A and B are shown apart, each in its own frame.
Chain A
Amino acid sequence: MSIVLEAKHINKYFKKPVLFHVLKDINFQIKKGEFVSIMGKSGCGKSTLLYILSTMDTDYEGELLLNNQLITNQSRDHLSYIRNKHIGFVFQFHYLLSEFSVLENVMLPAKKLAEKSHQEIEHDAFEKLKMLNIEHLAKKRASRVSGGEKQRIAIARALINNPLIIMGDEPTGNLDSYNAENVFNIFKQLSDEQGLSLLVVTHDEDFANKTDRIIQMADGNILT
């Protein structure tokens, strides 16, 4: 199986307020179609690691490869393009653009990528919404839907450009158990049926136990 994401000797320091070694020589790989969760106590560096992997944080040492291509030290504009095309995000808080309709929120990353026509993008967005059973919300304002629905919209948005990998920062952290279950099932389905790689930071042990692999972190090191 091909390797989607690979981290080599990642080191990260926080310089303020005092010098602090957050991540200590992190090495791991994520294969295509793998559903991986990262667990660990608060402050162990798991979110920090995720944001380095997401290319948004560029202040680290080591090498990061996406689809076997080195993305460390690329220009910010190129990193934006990589995020746009290859990485989908789901956050703990839903982070939709509240003034836009649900459909527009989902379409936005594809419009930015501009590889398809407006009609194609709209069609794709409807497909994604249908897949997540929320197509009836398409025309609603993003600020008018419930929390569980928002998270599903965020997943649809993450999927719109058919990324290589989806990253989640506690995607179920703000949801009740029913909706959390729902989100997990969606992820599982994406991983099984579409061969999508997933990397999810979570506190939820039940959630983590159902994933293919758990990366345990403590004090900036990977334990397992």
Chain B
Amino acid sequence: MTNWNVILNIAKTHLLTKIKQTATAALGVTFGIGAYITLVCFMTGLNAMLDDLILNQTPHIHIYNEIEPSEKQPISLYANIEDSFNVVHSIKPKLTQKKIHNALPIIKYLEEKEAVRGALPQVKTQIFYIAGSIELGGNITGINPVDEARLFNMGDYIVEGSAEALQNTDNGILLGIGIAKKMSLKVGDRVQVSPINGGIFPLKIVGLYQSGIADLDAIQSFTNIKTIQRILGKAKNYITDINIKLYDIEQAIPLSKKIEQQFNLTAIDIKTANAQFETGTTIRNLITYAVSITLLIVAGFGIYNILNMLIYEKMNDIAILKATGFSGKDVQLIFMSQAMIIGFVGGVLGLLVGFGLVSIIDTIPFKTEALPTVETYPINLNPLFFIIGFSFAMLSTFLAGYLPSKKAKKIDPVKIIRGQ
């Protein structure tokens, strides 16, 4: 039978009469947890921002026609030399059309699938931007701007103008900011573009695009899918790429495999395309947790040390408690509850300190050319981190309190009382 009132009362008195030591131990936990919250919120905020930078505008599945050599060369189809050994030199890629065959029915089919949030057609092509006698090489992509803004956050990367303006303007162009700078163009100006097969088309600049990746911004522009089909002189069913956004990113791999089989196209899922980002995220998380756990272990040793000292100081008290009828378990609980109180108070304070620091960081301006949408340092305020932090505080103080309290439990009162 445990009498918690008495035990907690004794623990409280011990802690309050040694308020300086208690405060030191609790502050250790506070700093550990505070640093953990700050670190993890800041680091995952940065992670999310970096991921968004690439992943947000990356389709979950990207479907296109890959230019590649045929896997089966004609000679292997010839039955007469089936069992013999053949060598084919200088294999050339197979001549295929760039456009996806039957693209519009495929899109319709994909959009009807339950897992698919949207499938958007794109037309990608090389182009020259013409400024007087200078021709700048670049890419232009024909898109459905409003749908792109809806599914792939295109709007975040349009620094001037809007996706709607592009949608509504015939012969409009969303010019990469690097090109605009090179050619001293601004919104409302006209730029002449020339496709590879000749001809010059003047397009009106309705907006500027900045992805944050300078190399890309120096070549990439966007226009309406109809406009690009007209420039290239192609029919309305000329689609080179299909981008799919799913509800659940985990479906990307199975679905892409199925599409490859079903339509004989290349389908790249987001995980394969951006494997290096996953690695970066994992390693950053690893560092965050390694540092936080180190801090908490240091705090844990602080508590261990202070409780150990306390138990040596309180030998007489322990002996008298045991002599007057407190069991070893009661004594252990007294010291355990002291550790847990330190952990609780330190942990809660740590959460508050962490929250305060994170709130401050969240207001510090952070402007960079590369990230047009970011105004202040990114912070990821996930309640889960607070739960983890608090659990960690309780766990580490529990472990730090367990060993000294176990020692207190085993103290033989006779030895102490007779020893004096």
Nearest chain A CB to B179 CB, angstrom units: 77
Q: A77-B329, A97-B317, A112-B330 are in contact. Are A56 and B13 (CB under 8 A)?
A: no
* Interchain CB contact under 8 A, B328 and A76: yes
What is the CA–CA distance of A95 and B322 in the complex, to the nearest angstrom? Answer: 12
Interface string of A51-63 (1 = CB under 8 A from B): 1001011000000
Contacts of B412 in A (CB 8 A): 56
Contacts of B6 in A (CB 8 A): 108, 111-112, 114
* Interchain CB contact under 8 A, A95 and B414: no
Number of A-B residue pairs, CB cutoff 8 Å, is: 73
Partner among B319, B325, B417 whose Cβ is within 8 Å of the Cβ of A84: B325
What is the CA–CA distance of A112 and B10 in the complex, to the nearest angstrom? Answer: 11
Q: A93-B420, A97-B320, A100-B13 are in contact. Are A109 and B5 (CB under 8 A)?
A: no
Q: Is A124 an interface residue (CB 8 A)?
A: no
Q: Is A81 an interface residue (CB 8 A)?
A: yes
Partner among A77, A93, A111 whose Cβ is within 8 Å of the Cβ of B3: A111
Contacts of B13 in A (CB 8 A): 99-100
Q: A47-B418, A99-B13 are in contact. Are A109 and B325 (CB under 8 A)?
A: yes
Q: A93-B420, A99-B13 are in contact. Are A113 and B413 (CB under 8 A)?
A: no
Contacts of A113 in B (CB 8 A): 325
Contacts of A108 in B (CB 8 A): 6, 321, 324
Q: How large is the interface on B (under 10, 10 to 19, 20 to 34, 35 or more residues)?
A: 20 to 34
* Interchain CB contact under 8 A, A56 and B322: yes
What is the CA–CA distance of A157 and B320 in the complex, to the nearest angstrom? Answer: 11
Contacts of A97 in B (CB 8 A): 10, 317, 320-321
* Interchain CB contact under 8 A, A114 and B327: no
User: What would be 26 A-B contacts, judged by CB atoms less than 8 Å apart?
Assistant: A51-B414, A51-B418, A56-B322, A56-B412, A56-B413, A56-B414, A76-B328, A80-B322, A83-B324, A84-B325, A85-B325, A89-B323, A92-B420, A95-B320, A97-B10, A97-B321, A98-B317, A99-B13, A99-B14, A99-B17, A100-B13, A108-B6, A109-B325, A112-B3, A113-B325, A114-B1
**Which residues of B come within 8 Å of A, CB atoms?**
1, 3, 5-6, 9-10, 13-14, 17, 316-317, 319-330, 412-414, 417-418, 420
14 other contacts beyond A80-B322, A84-B325, with CB at 8 A cut-off?
A56-B412, A56-B413, A57-B414, A80-B325, A80-B327, A81-B327, A83-B325, A84-B324, A95-B319, A97-B10, A97-B317, A108-B321, A108-B324, A114-B6
**Which residues of A come within 8 Å of B, CB atoms?**
47, 51, 54, 56-57, 76-77, 80-81, 83-85, 89, 91-93, 95-100, 108-109, 111-114, 157, 161, 169
Closest 3 CB pairs of A and B: A84-B325, A80-B327, A95-B320
